[in-house]
Structure formats: C-alpha cells, structure tokens
C-alpha cells in the first residue's frame, strides 16, 4: 500500500449559518481544500455526514455536493458512523489512495444542525444510540453521557468542578481561532454555575449544536513531496474499531474499548507510543468523554484522566495539549464534520500555521473521533515529514 | 491492486418482515454469507443502507449490526448513495480488499421499509431527490419517474403497454425465486389495467416497498482460488459515477449520463463490450429506468431500449436476459439492500446455483444499481473463473 499525505485543507467557521445551505457549506470547505492543495478537482469525493436525512430531508449528499461544487460526474458517496462520520470519510479516502484506486481523494465532513428547532437536533442525535434499547426508553444523548459522568464521579470520588479544566482549556483555545463558534474564555466560576442539562452535565460540559464543513485533499505521499507548497503531512496511522452501541451492553461503562482498540492499532501502525504524541485533538463532546478518551488511549491510568485537566497538562503549555483550536466544546461540533475539523486542525499545527494557537515544534499529532457513546472510534496519527 | 473475488453470498427473502428487526435482518444475511464462504468473521463490515434514520430512528448501523452479529470490535461503518447504497458498499469493500487493507470484507445491504405507514416510506424515498428543488415542490420519487416516462413516450412515440415486457419478465422470473416478494406471474391485460400511481406510471411499472438484507464476502482472488468450495467469481469491474441529483439540471432528462459513464468504465476495466455480457441485473425500480439503463449502457440505441422488452430479448431465453431472479420489480426493492441482492443473484447465475432460473453457461454478468433518478450509478461486472 502507498503512503498517503494531506495536500490540502479547508474549513468554514462553525456557526449558525442561516445564509448557507447544506450543499453550499460543503462546497465552501471543499473548494478551500482544493485551493489549498492547488488541485483542480477530486477523483472521488467521500462525504461524512450523519443528519442530513433527519434534519434536511436530503440524502445522496455525495452526488449533490459533487455537482454543486462543479465536479459533476465524479465518483461520490456518503459515509455515516454517527459522530465519527467525518473521520470515517477521511479513513475511506485514505484507503482509496493507499490502495492505488485514486490519486486525488477528498474527504468532506459537513453538517447543518441549526435550521430546525433544537429539539429536532436532540432527537436526531439520539439516532447514534441504540434506538430500541436506549432512545425509545427516553435516554437522550446527553443523558447517556450524564450516566457515564455520574458513575465516574461515584467510582473515583471526583466533584463536578474537577472537570472544569477541559471546558476552560477548549474555550481559551477557541478564543483565538477565527473558525470557532464560541470564541470566548470561560472561568471556573462560570463552569460551576452553568445551567444543568442532565445532571451532572451542564451547558459548559457540553458541546453545542452548530453548522460547518471541513475538507482534506489526500494524495500519495510521493506526489505530495513533489508538488506541495506547504510542509507535507503524512497519515502515519488510520485505525477504526467498534463497540456495542448500547452503553448497558458493555462490560465496563467507563472503559472505551473501541478507543483503546483503535488507538492501539494506530500506535502500532505508526510505531509510536503515547509519550511520542505532541498534541491530541480528542472528542470532547462532553467533559466525561475527554476523560475517558485520555484513559483509553493510554495518556492516563484508569480513574486519572480528569487529573490531566486538574493539573493543567492539557493546555498548550502542558505536556499533552488537547483541543488546541477549541475542540468540540468551543470550536463547535457539527457532528458529521467534526472528525474532519480535527484533522484539519492537526494539519494546521503540524504545518506551523495555527496562528496564535501554534504549538512550537509540533511534529506528531493524534486525532480521535468518537461515534455514539463510544460505539465507533476512529484514530489518526499525523506526522510532519519535512 | 489485488484482484478480488466473491467467496460467499447470503440473502433473506424480501418481504414484510414483521418478525425481524433491522439488525436481525442484517444479521441473517451476514451470517448466511459467512457460512457460505466458510469464514468465521469479517475484518471489516460495510453496511449499505439509505433509510434507517428516517424510518427506524437508527444510525450507526455498522457498529450496531457488527455487534449484534457477534463481531463486536471490528471496523464497521455505513455508506449511503440513495438507492445505490448497496452497490456502494460492495464497491468500498472491494476497494478495501483490492488495496490490501483487508483480506476479508463483508458488504451488507439492509433496509426495513414496512414498519411505518407507506406515506412515511414515500416521503423518505424522496430524500434521494433534490430536497430543495424537487421534493419540496411536491415531486415524489414516482412522480420524477413519471415525468421521464411521459417524456420518453412523447419523444419516441410509444404507448404505455409497450413497457409491459419488463414487468412481465420480472414477475415471471420472480415466480420461481424463493427469495422474491412478489413471486407470481402477471399478464399483459393486468399490466394494462393496473392502478395508476402517477400517470403514466402504474402499480405494475413500479417496484414495491419491502424489507430485506443481502451480503457478500469479498477476499483476494488468490485466496478464493485456494479455499473456495464453489466456483470462484471475480469482480472483473467495479465503477461508479454521478450526475446532477435534480432531474431538471440535466442537459437531457432521457439520457442517464452516470449510467453511461460507469458502464463505460466497467467495460474498460474488464476489457469487455456489451455483446460479451451474458445477463444484466439492472435497476428496474420503474419500467422507464430499465429502458434508460439499457440505452445508457449500450445495449440498445437511444429510443430503442423498450423494444428489447417488446421483442422478448430480455427473457431468460433472449439474447440479453435481465432481472433473472425477479429484479427490483418482483424480487423486491428494499432500497439500500438492492445493489447487494443484484450481485448475490449474479453470483448465483455464475456459480450455476440459480435453480429454476438458471441461465445455461453464464460466465459474465453485469449489475447496475441506480441512486436517485440517475444521480449515482454503480456498475459491476462479475466473471466466473473456473
């Protein structure tokens, strides 16, 4: 198989995009990525999206966006893996290039969640859970995470305020990211006094609902090294694993087995270990998810993930910066697009174009996109090659 | 890239499966295909499905079905390309094996459409059209096909009854297929007197709404030649192309450009021509689609596709048998599963296990799965190797 590089990146701001349709958002990110790569057109377009059917009565997004973006006729399709749909698109596009089927593949994540009422989005997000055994019993997605967070606090003896560092870090990093939906700092006092959503989860534990699109252009590494006008970022690892969709079906609801499996595979593929990783764009849909992701990937022992936030290790000055451009919490979480945003941001860091958020000398970045309450987890490791 | 073979096939009958859930249908076909291949588990599961969100409030089908089928942990995701979702799953699984990423990939198409009211399914099927420019203007999917059929009849001077041969052939072939939803013959008189759905389309021009699942196990050809207990069927070509989703955006609404493009690519990949094809499992969602598919793929000149039905060339005794086990019209059309059913049936013919429907000496079969009114078209050519 060929090595694969990311030749171009593009993104829209995450926001309530009343002025742009779903296809228009997709076009903007796709075109930005093509421009960045200096490539005229993709040979294949893989769209990551979860909710266009439920919220826009629109499927067949591959053909729809390919045509709207001026590429009528190319191969195009949509991939869905709940909130991990974006990374799934990158993974498939990467596989298509690695295997030799295509030389220029675009993975595009796009989601438009704010056109309807917030309750519609909440109901549609529950499609990521087990409809028959969770959602139909009244469990929203926030409620599932609340169960996990309550259990974690009970098992390990933490207070709600111990999780504040995750949200404060993401908001701080978002404050200087022009693409972020919530670019403002928050304080510990605000975190402690935030309105409850599903106890113990508050507004400031939770990512919001937003619209956005992000895209990457993937080509063989050899080609990228010849033509790139930016530092070349290679995909050192791409790995995916699943778990039960229903939380109650897992042996241990506080261990993200699929995050463990996919990160282990990614470390093995790239010949790296957790301590080699310069920064980690993780899936902070809720503060509890950050905690459990850090533990499952080997960055902290069981029951200790939250201490990385308490002790400041996750900030841009810490030993494992996370959510360096605001994460899901504060850059925003347009679900099917999020996995591609994470990869775009990792490329920004590795190229040295992250602006005020730049990590000095970052060479190895990891991203992890989580679908459902841990049912589908996709991990990428990216490396700067020159 | 490695050559890819189909080592196992599985299918459920298409029907109103009140007794089986979506995941259970998926499991049945998946397990049947694994059993047929004598393989214990897939390394990756790619699920083709269009409507599980709209009709079952369930996404994340990859993880859901992998777990339910006893394969918790494997890589799994869902792909969507409207009614071409099934063939899209086969295409991606084939690419995953050809590229070397996996040695055992399963493509599973599954759809459950009959749990709700028929109007719900009709509304959800319109997600395959352009929501903003077609569905919101009141165009259902049947109505779109009615526009095409009316235009065809006007342009080329045909009567409605000229299309009867397509439906009669599909029903005749379904009558001896134990997996078919409508296994009964129909007469010309029944066709002529069938109830109108959207003029000129009647009940007997149209495929029905059904539940079903079909699966194929894909492995490298070299491996298949070593272990297969059936004749080995290789994927001689796999090709996909798109067109505008909206019918009115096409230069010529009676030419399926994407069907032309994908079939041309498939012929080129396999080094074959239309006259080499022994049989063609085409996408007879409506009789007009059969006509246009035959023309776009080079089996008939423009305006003459319908004559293949009028003159009997599409029957099992004709020079180009189509829908040899009942097609979408009479085997049934569980949309996201259909593309996999077509490939399963092509394998039955090529192995010589099509029972009463067997075509003598079939060695080269073609399948074509169409998403939307021609927006996403995926063509496969399969060849018996031994």
Pick the residue from chain B with its C-alpha nearest to A92: B92
Contact B128 A82 (CB under 8 A): no
H/E run at residue B37: helix B22-37
**Which among B100, B127, B244 has CB closest to A58?**
B127
Contact B82 A73 (CB under 8 A): no
Angle, helices A141-156 vs A287-296, to 10°: value is: 60
Q: Which pLDDT score is estimated for A118?
A: 84
For residues A251-278, give the mean pLDDT. 98
Which one from A160, A230, A333, A380 is the annotated catalytic residue?
Answer: A333
Distance CA A314, CA A287 (A): 13
Confidence of residue B26 (pLDDT cuts 50, 70, 90): very high
Q: Is the pLDDT reported for residue A148 higher than 90?
A: yes
For residues A221-244, give the mean pLDDT. 97
Confidence of residue A129 (pLDDT cuts 50, 70, 90): very high
Q: What percent of chain B has pLDDT over 90?
A: 98
Closest Cα of chain B to A379: distance in Å?
Answer: 12
Mapped onto helix, strand or coil, the DSSP state of residue B363 is coil
Q: Which pLDDT score is estimated for B118?
A: 84
Q: Respond yes or no: is residue A297 known to be catalytic.
A: no
Scanning A157-280, the segments in alpha helix (DSSP H) are: 164-174, 188-193, 221-227, 257-270
Distance CA B186, CA B177 (A): 15
Q: Which pLDDT score is estimated for A116?
A: 83
Q: What does residue B334 show for φ and ψ, rounded to 5 degrees? A: -75, 100
The mean pLDDT value of chain A amounts to 97
Q: Which pLDDT score is estimated for B131?
A: 95
Distance CA B11, CA B216 (A): 9
For residue A136, how many other CB atoms are within 10 A of its CB? Answer: 12
Cα→Cα distances B42→A333, B59, B66, B299, B357, Å: 32, 21, 9, 37, 30
Confidence of residue B117 (pLDDT cuts 50, 70, 90): confident
Instruction: Work out whether the CA dihedral A63, A64, A69, A70 comes out positive or negative.
Output: positive
Q: Is the pLDDT reported for residue B119 higher than 90?
A: no
Contact A62 B131 (CB under 8 A): no
Pick the residue from chain B with its C-alpha nearest to A87: B77
Which residues of chain A lie closer than 8 angstroms to B257, CB-CB? 73
Q: Is the pLDDT reported for residue A119 higher than 90?
A: no
Q: pLDDT, tens digit, for every residue of B244-271?
A: 999 999 999 999 999 999 999 999 999 9
Contact B63 A245 (CB under 8 A): yes
Confidence of residue A382 (pLDDT cuts 50, 70, 90): very high
For residues A37-49, give the mean pLDDT. 98
Nearest to A377 by CA among A292, A275, A278: A292
Which residues of chain B lie closer than 8 angstroms to A50, CB-CB? 59
Question: End-to-end distance of chain B based on CA atoms, in angstroms?
Answer: 21
Which residues of chain B lie closer than 8 angstroms to A139, CB-CB? none
Q: Respond yes or no: is residue B83 known to be catalytic.
A: yes
**Which among A61, A132, A135 has CB closest to B21?**
A132
Please list the helix, strand and coil fractions of chain B in percent, rounded to the nearest 5, in that order: 45, 20, 35
**Which among A67, A80, A243 has CB closest to B59?**
A80
Residue positions counted in chain B: 386
Closest Cα of chain B to A120: distance in Å?
Answer: 12
Closest Cα of chain B to A110: distance in Å?
Answer: 14
For residues B351-370, give the mean pLDDT. 98
Q: Which pLDDT score is estimated for A117?
A: 85
Question: End-to-end distance of chain A based on CA atoms, in angstroms?
Answer: 21
Contact B67 A249 (CB under 8 A): yes
Q: Dihedral (C-alpha) B335, B339, B345, B346: value to the nearest 10 degrees?
A: 160
Closest Cα of chain B to A47: distance in Å?
Answer: 10
Nearest to A204 by CA among A233, A219, A182: A182
Which residues of chain B lie closer than 8 angstroms to A372, CB-CB? 60, 63
Residue positions counted in chain A: 386
Q: What is the DSSP letter of B133?
A: T
Q: Is the pLDDT reported for residue B214 higher than 90?
A: yes
Q: pLDDT, tens digit, for every residue of A174-217?
A: 999 999 999 999 999 999 999 999 999 999 999 999 999 999 99
Which residues of chain B lie closer than 8 angstroms to A130, CB-CB? 58, 64
Nearest to A381 by CA among A308, A279, A292, A303: A279
Which residues of chain A lie closer than 8 angstroms to B131, CB-CB? 56-58
Q: Dihedral (C-alpha) A336, A339, A340, A344: value to the nearest 10 degrees?
A: 150
Q: Is the pLDDT reported for residue A97 higher than 90?
A: yes
Contact A101 B258 (CB under 8 A): no
For residues B148-168, give the mean pLDDT. 98
| Tokens 């109007």, residue located | B119
Q: Hey, which bits of B42-83 come out as E strands?
A: 44-48, 75-80
Please list the helix, strand and coil fractions of chain A in percent, rounded to the nearest 5, in that order: 40, 20, 40
Nearest to A52 by CA among A101, A85, A29, A28: A85
For residues A55-68, give the mean pLDDT. 97
Contact A67 B132 (CB under 8 A): no
CB neighbour list of residue A19: distance below 8 Å, 6 or more residues apart: none
**Which among A1, A243, A375 has CB closest to B101?**
A1
Residue contacts between A and B (CB atoms, under 8 Å): 197
Q: pLDDT, tens digit, for every residue of B51-107?
A: 999 999 999 999 999 999 999 999 999 999 999 999 999 999 999 999 999 999 999
Q: Hey, which bits of B168-305 come out as E strands?
A: 196-198, 201-202, 212-220, 233-242, 279-281
The mean pLDDT value of chain B amounts to 97
Nearest to A22 by CA among A12, A32, A37: A12
Confidence of residue A47 (pLDDT cuts 50, 70, 90): very high
Closest Cα of chain A to B278: distance in Å?
Answer: 26
Nearest to A331 by CA among A194, A170, A205, A203: A170
**Are A232 and A36 contacting, i.e. CB atoms less than 8 angstroms apart?**
no
Contact B66 A130 (CB under 8 A): no
| Tokens 């967070």, residue located | A149
Contact B67 A258 (CB under 8 A): no
**Which among B67, B124, B375 has CB closest to A60?**
B375
With 0-12 / 13-18 / 19 or more C-beta atoms within 10 angstroms meaning exposed / middle / buried, residue A193 is exposed
**Which among B67, B92, B124 has CB closest to A92?**
B92
Distance CA B58, CA B336 (A): 14
Nearest to A363 by CA among A386, A343, A330: A386
Q: What is the token pair recorded at B135?
A: 């569905």
Pick the residue from chain A with its C-alpha nearest to B62: A81
Closest Cα of chain A to B105: distance in Å?
Answer: 13
Angle, helices A141-156 vs A118-125, to 10°: value is: 70
Closest Cα of chain B to A245: distance in Å?
Answer: 6
Q: Could you tell me how far CA A256 lies from the centroid of its own chain?
A: 16
Which one from A71, A83, A230, A323 is the annotated catalytic residue?
Answer: A83
């Amino acid at each position: 198989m060929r090595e694969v590089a990311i030749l171009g990146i593009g993104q829209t701001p995450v926001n309530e995009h009343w002025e742009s349709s779903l296809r228009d958002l997709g076009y903007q990110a796709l075109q930005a990525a093509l421009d960045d790569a200096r490539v005229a057109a993709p040979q294949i377009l893989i769209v990551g999206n979860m909710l266009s059917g439920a919220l826009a009565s629109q499927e067949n997004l591959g053909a729809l966006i390919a045509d709207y973006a001026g590429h009528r006729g190319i191969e195009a399709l949509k991939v869905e893996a709940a909130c991990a749909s974006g990374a799934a698109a990158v993974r498939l596009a990467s596989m298509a290039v690695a295997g030799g089927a295509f030389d220029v593949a675009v993975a595009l994540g796009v989601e438009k969640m704010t056109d309807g009422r917030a309750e519609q989005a909440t109901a549609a997000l529950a499609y990521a859970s087990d409809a028959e055994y969770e959602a139909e019993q009244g469990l929203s997605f926030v409620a599932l995470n609340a169960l996990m967070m309550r259990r974690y606090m009970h098992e390990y003896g933490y207070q709600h305020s111990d999780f504040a560092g995750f949200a404060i870090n993401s908001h701080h990093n978002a404050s200087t990211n022009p693409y972020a939906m919530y670019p403002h700092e928050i304080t510990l006092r605000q975190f402690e006094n935030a309105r409850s959503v599903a106890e113990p989860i508050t507004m400031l534990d939770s990512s919001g609902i937003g619209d956005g699109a992000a895209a990457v252009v993937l080509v063989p590494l050899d080609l990228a090294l010849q033509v790139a006008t930016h530092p070349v970022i290679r995909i050192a690892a791409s790995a995916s694993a699943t778990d039960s969709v229903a939380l109650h079906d897992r042996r241990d609801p506080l261990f993200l087995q699929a995050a463990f499996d996919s990160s282990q595979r990614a470390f093995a593929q790239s010949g790296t270990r957790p301590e080699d990783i310069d920064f980690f764009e993780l899936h902070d849909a809720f503060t509890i998810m950050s905690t459990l992701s850090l533990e499952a990937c080997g960055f902290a022992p069981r029951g200790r993930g939250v201490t990385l936030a308490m002790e400041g290790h996750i900030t841009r000055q810490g030993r494992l910066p996370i959510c360096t451009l605001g994460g899901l919490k504060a850059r925003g979480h347009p679900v099917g697009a999020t996995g591609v945003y994470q990869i775009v941001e990792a490329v920004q860091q590795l190229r040295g174009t992250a602006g005020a958020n730049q990590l000095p000398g970052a060479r190895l970045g990891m991203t992890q996109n989580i679908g459902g309450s841990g049912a589908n987890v996709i991990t990428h490791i990216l490396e700067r090659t020159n």
